[in-house]
Amino acid sequence: MAAHDDLGSLVEQSAITLVGSHWCFVSPKSFTEACFSVPAVRALKHFSPNAKIAVLCPESQLSLWQYGLDEIEWVIDYEDGASASKIVTVLEAGSVRFDSAILWETGCAAKAVCKLDVGQRVGYAYGELEPLVTDSIAIDSQPGPIEHRVRHYLGLIDQLGADAFVRSSFQKPSLPVAPAQTKIAIAPFSVYGGSHQWPAERFLKVIELIEQRHSEVSWVLYGHEPKSSKQGMEVFGSLLGQDNFNLDNSADVDVFAALAQSSALLACDGEVAHMAAHVGLPATVIFGPNSPEWRRPLGKQSVVVREHVACSPCFKSKCPLDFRCQTEVSIEAVVESLELVMGQRGS
């Protein structure tokens, strides 16, 4: 069995070996899950340095897979919501033919790989995915403490014979030189729903306290307010006219590159926090109804602030009670964490 460093072990390796040298890694549809699958691509390439790996992903994930991943030979993107037939057309338009594919879930991309008749299709043996794979790997269903989602992806690569649970699987690209003036990215909105958002007024209080304690701080707001939360942007509207506060949520913005040019991130539990983790940016991430043990951003540079309450984690997008998992998180705790991560950014 592969050595697992200090990250523990899963189950005994399977007898499956990926065939050929051109492999297609079909990205999960969820952006967050795609972020959690990135270490699996690194582990796969480190295991087989001569392999040529392509990632097949929705267009909305293109910038994720193009940033800082030298392990990937090609990124093949398709229009979000495309049918299996349209994805087949995209794949056929390329010059690469794949010997093997790794599938994580059912969906049009997985069905497209089947229609393309890729000879070996590897995936976990569960539900509707199992008929789509030629070589299935059993999931370890032993009871135990909750495990982070990254282990789901690394576990399969581990069973293929790789040393997946090692630090090199989690390596980050080097950040560029830190900005001369402190520039803090903030992401107060979450696509997971309004219950995952810390009150906007408290973000404003954190900004006020940081500016009192630190000179020449600028702020850049990322992300879009979900339809379920319609008051947050009104709160931040009072800051948009200030010289040191900018809104950067245009579709043309390369969020990954922009975050890499920041000093730190202050975010609620949402996609921007995972983007920052991908580039290695120190971040304070406020958790509410979600479980950090299950879905926290990857890397020690991401610091979670959370106040455990009896009803959390509930994983609901809309709070049925009194929003206590968010309101119990104090402004002081967030400021303390943010000042800590501000000091972690190398020059």
For the chain, the distance separating the N- and C-terminal CA atoms, rounded to the nearest angstrom, is 40
Dig out the tokens for 328 from the structure: 């119990």
* pTM, two decimal places: 0.93
Please provide residue 117's backbone torsions phi and psi, each rounded to the nearest 5 degrees: 60, 45
CA dihedral 27, 30, 31, 33 (to 10 degrees): -70
Report whether pLDDT(159) > 80.
yes
Q: What fold is seen in the domain 182-342?
A: Rossmann fold (3.40.50)
What digits encode the pLDDT tens for the residues 58-103?
Answer: 999 999 999 999 999 999 999 999 999 999 999 999 988 999 999 9
Report the C-alpha gap between 301 and 313 in whole angstroms.
23
The C-alpha angle with vertex 215 and arms to 214 and 216, in degrees rounded to 5, equals 125
pLDDT band (50, 70, 90) for residue 11: very low
| pLDDT score recorded for residue 324 | 96
Report whether pLDDT(4) > 50.
no
3-state SS assignment for residue 243 = coil
| pLDDT score recorded for residue 224 | 79
| pLDDT score recorded for residue 13 | 59
What digits encode the pLDDT tens for the residues 267-324?
Answer: 999 999 999 999 999 999 999 999 999 999 999 999 999 999 999 999 999 999 999 9
pLDDT band (50, 70, 90) for residue 239: confident
Q: What is the domain partition of the chain in residue ranges?
A: 22-170, 182-342
The CATH number that domain 22-170 falls under is 3.40.50.2000
pLDDT band (50, 70, 90) for residue 7: very low
| pLDDT score recorded for residue 6 | 38
265: β partners? 185, 283
Asked whether the domain spanning 182-342 has the same topology as the one spanning 22-170, the reply is yes
Share of the chain above pLDDT 70, in %: 92
What digits encode the pLDDT tens for the residues 35-49?
Answer: 999 999 999 999 999
Single-letter amino acid code for the residue at 274: H
Report the C-alpha gap between 62 and 58 in whole angstroms.
7
| pLDDT score recorded for residue 228 | 61
What digits encode the pLDDT tens for the residues 164-215?
Answer: 999 999 999 999 999 999 999 999 999 999 999 999 999 999 999 999 999 9
